[in-house]
Amino acid sequence: MIRKAAFIVAIALLTFTTACSSSSSTPAAAGGTVAAAANSATTCPTSNTTSFAKTRFVANAALAGGAFKRYIYTPAKDGKFAKGASGRVTALIKAAAAGALAVNRLDAAKSDAQANPTLCKLIVTPLEDLKSSITGLITKTKTGDISGTDVNGASSQLEDFRTAATHGGAGFTDDTNVSP
């Protein structure tokens, strides 16, 4: 009985995650976000259009990177998503929710980056690449077919994104003082 209830809750959470991640991609289908990304070189502002654009960017990028690393990258490397692993369903649910959060925060980071002239020129492309990698991982968590090798691509995209952010003056690093 408890196992059935846990399965129903897992399905509900995955449905919620799907709704959240698909609603975040709706503007792209309308052409607004995609057109802005494609024309980012020509539409970059000459001065900040939002107060604290770099600070907001760093906060949103750090939340996205932290959610990815803690709930997707580390469990995948530890084998928590493997069939038969202890706590696999919970790890998959957390990964799907963290992926939706990461995509949402990357969208916010993109709008913050587009409000700053330096970040606008450097960040938009690596950010879109990272977002598409994480979206692919969300799809794999829904089917339960995610492995440690699957997250390597997204991890390299995160490093490219971090490098671009550092060149733009809005770098961020891992907090090594956090307990697992």
Q: Which residue is associated with the tokens 């399905």?
A: 11
Domain containing residue 68: 2-24+52-167
**Residue 177, pLDDT score:** 67
Q: How many CB atoms lie within 10 A of CB 55?
A: 11
Helix (H, G, I), strand (E, B) or coil at 95: helix
**Residue 2, pLDDT score:** 53
User: Is residue 31 included in any domain, yes or no?
Assistant: no
User: Is residue 46 included in any domain, yes or no?
Assistant: no
Q: Which of 27-31, 92-96, 142-146 has the lowest mean pLDDT?
A: 27-31
User: Is residue 163 included in any domain, yes or no?
Assistant: yes
User: Is residue 47 included in any domain, yes or no?
Assistant: no
Cβ atoms of 55 and 126 within 8 Å: the answer is no
User: Is residue 60 included in any domain, yes or no?
Assistant: yes
Q: Which of 152, 84, 138, 75 has its CA nearest to residue 106?
A: 138
pLDDT bin (cut points 50, 70, 90) of residue 27 is: very low
User: Is residue 44 included in any domain, yes or no?
Assistant: no
Average pLDDT, stretch 62-73?
89
Q: Is the pLDDT of residue 178 over 70?
A: no
Q: Is the pLDDT of residue 78 over 80?
A: yes
Average pLDDT, stretch 11-15?
45
What mean pLDDT, rounded, does the chain reach? 74
User: Is residue 117 included in any domain, yes or no?
Assistant: yes
Residue, of 5 and 43, whose pLDDT is higher: 43
Note the pLDDT tens digit of each residue in 107-159: 999 998 888 888 888 888 888 888 888 888 888 877 777 777 778 777 788 78
Distance spanning both ends of the chain, measured CA to CA: 31
pLDDT bin (cut points 50, 70, 90) of residue 166 is: confident
- The rounded distance, in Å, linking the Cα atoms of 134 and 103 is 7
**Residue 20, pLDDT score:** 46
User: Is residue 7 included in any domain, yes or no?
Assistant: yes
Domain count, the chain: 1
**Residue 90, pLDDT score:** 93
Helix 150-167 vs helix 117-143: crossing angle, to nearest 10: 170
